[in-house]
Amino acid sequence: MIRAENLSFTFGDFIVEDISLTVAPGESFFILGPSGAGKTLLLEILLGIKPPKSGRIFLNSTDITAAPPEKRGVAYVPQDLALFPHLTVEGNILFGMKEWGPQVQKRLDRWVELLNLGNVRKRRDVSTLSGGERQRVALARALIREPRVLFMDEPFSALDVSLRRRLQLEFRELQRNLGLTTVQVTHDPEEAFLMADEMAIMIGGRIEQVGTPNSLYNNPANRRVASFLMLQNLFFATVKGKTSEGLLDVRTNTDTLLVDDDGGHEVGDEVYLGVRPEEIILVRSERVEYHKETPNFFFGKVTGWVDLGHYRLVNLRVGEWVVESWLNIRAAREFPMSIGEEIGFHIRPGSFCLLPSEGERS
Amino acid sequence: MSSRGLTLFLGVAVAFAVTFVAGLLAVELGYARPGDLAAALKNGELRHAIFLSLTTATIAATLALLAALPVAYALARHQFPGSFFVDLLLDLPVVLSPVAVGVSLLLLLRTTPGRWIETHLISFIFETPGIVLAQFTVALALSIRVLKAAFQEVDVRYEQVSRFLGLNGWETLLKVTLPLAKRGILAAFILAWARSMGEFGATVTLAGAVAGKTETIPVAIYLRMASVDITGAVALIVLLSLFSLTALLMVRLLVRAR
């Protein structure tokens, strides 16, 4: 287990204060955030490459804040992998093994098999390896020493998309089967959602929220997390009352919405209502009559759309709001629409999340 | 936009520089035929000068490299209070007039610790070790410069990864940094050696121009000219030029093979 307590550090003008986090044994933990959020810096502090200004880091219950890297028993795979160009593939994998013997040979064979490196293990020049092979050699080199925690800095980012996805899935499998404790940094939410058991959202040098992928996806803590996780539809509103069905009656400037009561809001509270584009349910014209009494049914004017491979992103204007909606590309083919046309849509009361207004409105 | 004028201008400038430097070499051959040069090199005194230059330059370059390695590594990897000024100061012997370096060395050996070394340990003034010391001084600064660049080219990530693979700072230096900086280190040695081979000003000031004793190739050239032995001087110049060209060629090949 790794635990960081009240870490503060500065790098030039960049200040990070009071970061605390805990990574459970066997967990895949991600630090996710946009570029420039200080993620790599935090990773380097956790690793001990850079010293924190204050705060402490524990591995299991040992304070390792001041321990030199080689005494920490953790492994590090940097973004560029840093395979040693002057060593062979086996020389790289065995770099951290101080003595040679049947035990080490056994371990080498095991990791070569686990990481599927059989056909490249005898290569003399690591620069002849493909991106995926380099990746796996770097992992073998780190894992053969059986580290207590594996730290990785965007190790999949240099791979092309299809290979990246396959290796991410393979690595997740491996991590779960072996019960590896891993801490990874990424700017790619998809990567984190795919591989994380738990993740911390870091924006502008602050950890905004920590939680499971599901909880972060469904209940972002604030507008910054929501926007980063592609929750584009955010509307300022006020809680006006509670209905007999246990729903909140929430009003924007122009409309009234019924929203599931999350138990955290009182009448009079100002909130941001968030709803994901995929939660906007478009209604075909012949079904409008049937849906007219459905809660949160509106008409929106189509202002444009873009086809993004497997889905279509449609912009609808409702009064002063612009609502973004995703439509599965197959459904989109069977859904005639034209610019300026009025389309009906509805949003289920359970599809909303309520975010604190934090005293601002836009 | 037409750039014919510019192309012409650049062509003339390059042609001038090449003609000038090649002319410096060619003019030597006008004073002596290859046969004369070979004959001159059979002279015992010249042979001694060549042997002396080769040995002193090799010793000086080796010592300079050994002294420069830790300094260059420290400057390449660490920012410490005053590192900017240390860097600046250590560059000085590269650009300072060699005669000034020689005089400074002479004065240094006249201080109390200097005198003690001179009487009890090793005598430099007008002696062969003086040649090595003079060459070492100018080669050291050059080695630090070249080695620092070589270490800076080694990505610090390799060292970090090595540490996390359980190697301490010393082991990382030996197993990662030095092997990765190998070509740069070799280039630094060759440049230090070539600089030592050509060293004259500091050598002549500290070790003097004692014929047959502290007579390196450059000193020998100077002495031949003073005694109007043009053939002898030219033979040594041609030889020195060959050494220097070979050294430069090796450095280029090392850099390109990177």
- What integer is the mean pLDDT of B150-168? 94
**Does B213 score more than 90 pLDDT?**
no
Q: Is the pLDDT reported for residue B134 higher than 90?
A: yes
A137–chain B nearest CA distance, Å: 13
Task: Please check whether residue A319 is in contact with residue A235, taking contact to mean a CB–CB distance below 8 angstroms.
Answer: no
List, in sequence order, every beta strand (DSSP E) within A82-232.
149-153, 182-186, 198-203, 206-211
- 8-state DSSP, A341: -
CB contact under 8 A, B162 and A141: no
DSSP 8-state class, residue B68: H
Q: Above 0.95 for ipTM, yes or no? A: no
CA distance B89 to B110: 22
Over range A335-342, report the average pLDDT. Answer: 90
Q: How far apart are CA A82 and CA A126, in angstroms?
A: 11
Distance of CA A284 to CAs A330, A333, A334, A350, Å?
A: 14, 13, 10, 22
pLDDT classification of B178: cutoffs 50, 70, 90: very high
Quick one: pLDDT at residue A255? Answer: 86
- Test A95 with B162 for CB contact under 8 angstroms: yes
Chain A residues in contact with B169 (beta carbon < 8 A):
68
* pTM recorded for the entire structure: 0.81
Helix (H) or strand (E) holding A74: strand A74-77
Q: Which residue of A has its CA nearest to B169?
A: A70
- Please list every residue in chain B whose beta carbon sits closer than 8 Å to the beta carbon of residue A98: 166
A69 has a chain B CB within 8 A of its CB: yes
- Whether residues B167 and A70 touch (CB distance < 8 A) is answered with yes
Q: Which residue of A has its CA nearest to B170?
A: A70
Q: Give the chain A residue nearest B179 (alpha carbons).
A: A86
Predicted pLDDT of residue A334: 86
Q: Does B181 touch chain A (CB under 8 A)?
A: no
pLDDT tier at B258, thresholds 50, 70, 90: low
**CB-based contact (8 Å) between B97 and chain A?**
no
SS3 for A157? coil
Query: Is pLDDT of A339 > 90?
Result: yes
* Closest approach of A332 to chain B, Cα-based (Å): 48
pLDDT of residue B189: 94
CA–CA separation, A227 vs B180, rounded Å?
44
* Digit-coded pLDDT (tens) for B73-106: 999 998 888 888 888 898 888 888 899 999 999 8
Q: How many CB pairs under 8 A join A and B?
A: 52
Confidence of residue A359 (pLDDT cuts 50, 70, 90): low
> Taking CB atoms and an 8 Å limit, are A96 and B155 in contact across chains?
no
Which one of B163, B175, B180 has the shortest CB-CB distance to A69?
A: B163
Percentage of residues in chain A having pLDDT higher than 70: 99
B236-249 pLDDT per residue, tens: 888 888 888 898 89
Distance from the Cα of B158 to chain A's closest Cα (Å) equals 6
Percent above pLDDT 90 for chain A:
48
Between chains, do B165 and A74 touch, taking CB under 8 Å as contact?
Answer: no
pLDDT tens-digit series, residues A179-214: 999 999 999 998 999 999 999 999 988 899 999 999
At A46, list the tokens.
């956790």
User: What is the structure's pLDDT at A159?
Assistant: 82
pLDDT of residue B55 exceeding 90: yes
- Position of tokens 């550090």? A9
* For residues A119-126, average pLDDT: 91
pLDDT at B1: 55
Are B166 and A80 an interchain contact pair (Cβ–Cβ within 8 Å)?
A: no
User: Nearest-CA residue of chain A relative to B167?
Assistant: A70
In terms of phi and psi (left: phi > 0; alpha: psi -120 to 50; beta: otherwise), the region of B32 is: beta
Q: Which of A69, A72, A84 sits opposite B176 (nearest CB)?
A: A84
pLDDT for residue A262? 80
Among B155, B157, B163, B165, which would you mutate to test the A interface (most chain A Cβ atoms within 10 Å of its Cβ)?
B165
Closest partner residue to A82 (CB to CB) among B158, B175, B179 is B158
Measure in Å the smallest separation between the Cα of B159 and chain A Cα atoms. 9
C-alpha B199/C-alpha A117 separation (Å) is: 55
- Which of A49, A82, A98 shows the shortest C-beta gap to B166? A98
Rounded to the nearest angstrom, the minimum Cα separation between A2 and chain B is 16
Determine the residue of chain A that is closest to B181 in CA distance: A86
Q: A95 and chain B: CB distance < 8 Å anywhere?
A: yes
Q: Looking at the complex, report in whole angstroms how far the Cα of residue B88 sits from the nearest Cα belonging to chain A.
A: 24
Three-state DSSP state, A78: coil
Residue B155 to residue A82, Cβ atoms within 8 A? yes
Cβ contact B133:B208 at 8 Å: no
Tell me if chain B has a CB within 8 Å of the CB of A70.
yes
Q: How far apart are the first and last CA of chain B?
A: 38
